[in-house]
Structure 1
Amino acid sequence: MKIYTKTGDKGDTSLVGGSRTTKSDIRVWAYGTIDEANSSLGLARAKICNKEIKENILLIQKMLFEVAAEIASIGTESYKERINEEDVFKLEKLIDYYDELKPQIHAFIVPGGTEESALLDISRTIIRKSERYIVELKDYYKVNEQLLKYINRLSDAIYTFARYLDYIDIKNKVKVNIGLYKKNKLDREFARYLVDKCIVKALEIGVPMVITVVDDSGNIIIQERMDGALLASIDISKNKAYTAAIFKKPTHELKKLSEPGEELYGLSNMKNVITFGGGFPLKIEGDLFGAVGVSGGTVEEDMTVAAYAIKIFKEVFTYGVREE
């Protein structure tokens, strides 16, 4: 049997049951876009290494044949509902399962974290496009409510797959980076990078500061005093970093613990120990690499700059990229 039939040479095509319609029919747009999504998922599946995700995508691809067949039968004598409530429920279980395996996301994600997730994000947008065509179908035909729900949940499922794969990739990178930095410890180059970022942040809020980075034993790696910073801030910054390192806690958390009746009462009387904000430990997944201490502004301003250093520190560990 030949692949080409010549029956569509004039711009029409067959629906399920054999009836003919133009290729510009909204039904053709809808099931054609489902076919596009299926092919896109096939490419993603071919690139993905995670066996469980691959198997779930394959099951979804097989279901998309049923989806396309149902759409291609709408408005014909051969119409049959192929997607049901159970199919929607299975997708919801998948979404919930993978959503619980990763941290919650509270912001828009820029696609392209990995090749695998990028391909899934392309598939997701094609599925969204097919959903819009199916919604338009409702203006002309009665559409199975469960079919529309299934496509809506499907884009969510593919999104969840993509974010889970991004999360696994990030976890693996963090493990590698932890191993590398534990071997070499926190070096001066990285400490210099953190200090430079803190200076940029301090300039943004308009306060000259002293920034100190120490190693995991509280020994100074680097200290920088911005022009105009208070001389007293030199020792305060150093002691904030030292305190955060030896207690492995942000200095502001020690304030309450050092009050009368608390477990660290009298701590504030110890030499070189600071119990107000501005010192943060540099930790990843419980591993201590050092600490940063900032002084020069109000406690809130010091904490803002020090917290920014922690953000930069975690970003470098997570993505392995330093901004110029």
Structure 2
Amino acid sequence: MKIYTRTGDKGNTSLVGGERTNKYDLRVWAYGSIDEANSSIGLARACIEDKKLEDKLLKIQKTLFEVAAELASLGTKDYKPRIEDDEVIFLEDTIDELDKMRPVQNGFIVPGGTMESAHLDVARTDVRRAERYISELKNYYEVNNSLQKYVNRLSDAVYAIARYFDYKDILKKAEEKLTELKGDGKINAKGNLKKSLLTKAVLNRETAEYITGKCIEKSREIGVPMVICVVDFDGNIILLERMDNSLLISIKVALKKAYTAAALKSPTGDLYESSLPGGEFYGLNHEKDIVTFSGGFPLKIGDDIVGAIGVSGGTIDEDTSVSHYGVEVFEEVVKYGTKR
């Protein structure tokens, strides 16, 4: 059988059942747009190595053949509903599953973050176009409600899958950045040795006890029991002190603040904006050992970060006040070479 039939040479085509209509028939626009969306999803699927998501997209593509066939039979004697709510539920379950894996989004995403998400975003817009034609078809035909829900939910599902790949890429880059900033023992070994010597000379347990003691005095002044943690430049604990009646959860939070400040070489409060969509560290706040709210500060000797302090137990302002005071105490030790 030849690919070409010549039956459409005069600008008409066949619907399901053989009825002929013009190629500009709204039904043709609708199922033609579904065909475009199917091809776009196929292009995206060809770039995806995640077997589970590849299988989901393949299932969607097979369903889209049924969507197109149903649209191509509207108004004919051969019309029958082909899409049921089970297919809608499949998309909703997919969306819910992927939404649990990504951070809350508070703004628009510029398409093109990854090859996979870029192709999926094109497919999403193709689905949206098809949905507009289907919505117009309701003025002339009785459109299956489950079909309309499916196409509407499909654009959401494709969007969720696209954002999943963006988020995975962001996490990968953030982890690489984190490793680079921390140093992995193979690069910058000379610099790490220098910091190690500085830490042992100045930021040792004795100094950590002094800083912590001063922070406890400050905490008592404001009437808030806190947890104070001092770590070295690699984020390893030098000293962690919990005041009586401080919250147990503050032990973990104080450590995370100190670790984050040391690993990312930045006050934790300064990381909040960059962890939002579009920021350098977007998604990093979902790493288990990272926090992006205030209360953690690096400890420096000149331009060298030799450790960090983290404080938790009060409000953001109270934690910040006490931890920043700890930095000032450490700077005095460095400046005067003695504890006052």
**How far is 1:311 from its partner?**
3.4
C-alpha contact 2:40 2:122 (8 A) present in aligned 1: yes
**Contact 1:282–1:288 (Cα < 8 Å) also in 2:** no
Q: Distance in 1 between matches of 2:79 and 2:71?
A: 8
Q: Give the counterpart of 1:311 among 239, 263, 273.
A: 273
Coordinate RMSD, CA, aligned: 3.7
Output the CA distance in 1 between the equivalents of 2:34 and 2:163: 22
Report if the CA contact (8 A) 2:178-2:264 is conserved: no
- The answer for the alignment partner of 2:262 in structure 1 is 288
Q: Secondary structure at the match of 2:142?
A: coil
C-alpha change, 1:140 and 1:179, in structure 2 (3 Å) is: same
For residues 241-260 of structure 1, the aligned pairs below 5 Å read: 259-260=222-223
Question: Quick check: 1:44–1:120 contact (8 Å CA) kept in 2?
Answer: yes
Paired amino acid for 2:262: L
Deviation at 1:52, TM superposition (A): 1.3
Relative to structure 1, the CA distance from residue 87 to residue 104 in structure 2 (aligned partners, 3 Å threshold; closer, same or farther) is same
- Structure 1 partner of 2:59: 59
In structure 1, what is the equivalent of residue 146 of structure 2?
146
In 2 relative to 1, CA 99–290 (structure 1 residues): closer, same or farther, beyond 3 Å? closer
The answer for the alignment partner of 1:119 in structure 2 is 119
| Alpha-carbon spacing, 1:283–1:117, altered in 2? closer, same or farther (3 Å) | farther
Q: Is the 8 A contact 1:282 1:313 kept in 2?
A: no
AA aligned opposite 2:95: I
Q: Per-residue deviation at 1:261? A: 5.6
Q: How many residues matched?
A: 237
Instruction: State how far apart, in whole Å, the 1-side matches of 2:35 and 2:219 are.
Output: 61
**What's 1:40 paired with?**
40
1:141-180 → structure 2 map (5 Å cutoff):
141-180=141-180
Distance 1:291 1:285, change over 3 A: closer
Which 5+ residue runs of structure 2 have no aligned equivalent? 186-194, 200-207, 229-254, 284-340
Aligned-partner SS, 1:21: strand
Alpha-carbon separation, structure 1, partners of 2:150 and 2:258: 40
The CA distance in 2 between the partners of 1:284 and 1:147, in whole Å, is: 53
Given that 1:127 and 1:155 are in contact with CA atoms closer than 8 Å, whether structure 2 keeps it comes out as yes
Find the counterpart in structure 2 of residue 239 from structure 1: none
Give the residue type in structure 2 aligned to 1:311.
E
Which residue number corresponds to residue 80 of structure 1?
80
Other structure's SS at 1:42 match: helix
For the 8 Å contact 1:26–1:133, the answer to whether it is kept is yes
Unpaired runs of 5+ in structure 1?
A: 186-214, 220-242, 266-280, 294-305, 320-324
What TM-score comes out, normalization by structure 1 length? 0.64
Note if contact 1:41-1:57 (Cα within 8 Å) is conserved in structure 2. yes
Question: Using the alignment, how far apart are the partners of 2:85 and 2:41 within structure 1?
Answer: 23
**Deviation at residue 147 of structure 1 after TM alignment:** 0.4
Distance in 2 between the 1:257 and 1:134 partners? 67
Q: What's 1:70 paired with?
A: 70
Structure 1 residues 260 and 30: alpha-carbon distance in aligned structure 2, compared to 1, 3 A threshold: same
Q: TM-score, normalised by structure 2?
A: 0.61
**Helix, strand or coil for the counterpart of 1:153?**
helix
Matched residues in 2 for 1:164 and 1:11: separation? 42
Per the alignment, do residues 184 and 259 of structure 1 end up closer, same or farther by CA in structure 2, a change over 3 Å counting? same
Structure 1 counterpart of 2:157, one-letter code: A
Please list the CA deviations of residues 56-113 of structure 1 after superposition, one character each: whole Å capped at 9, or x if unmatched: 1000000000000000000000001000111111111111111111112121111111
Q: Is contact 1:216-1:289 (8 Å) kept?
A: no
Conserved? CA contact 2:181–2:265, under 8 Å: no
Change (3 A) 1:2 1:283: farther
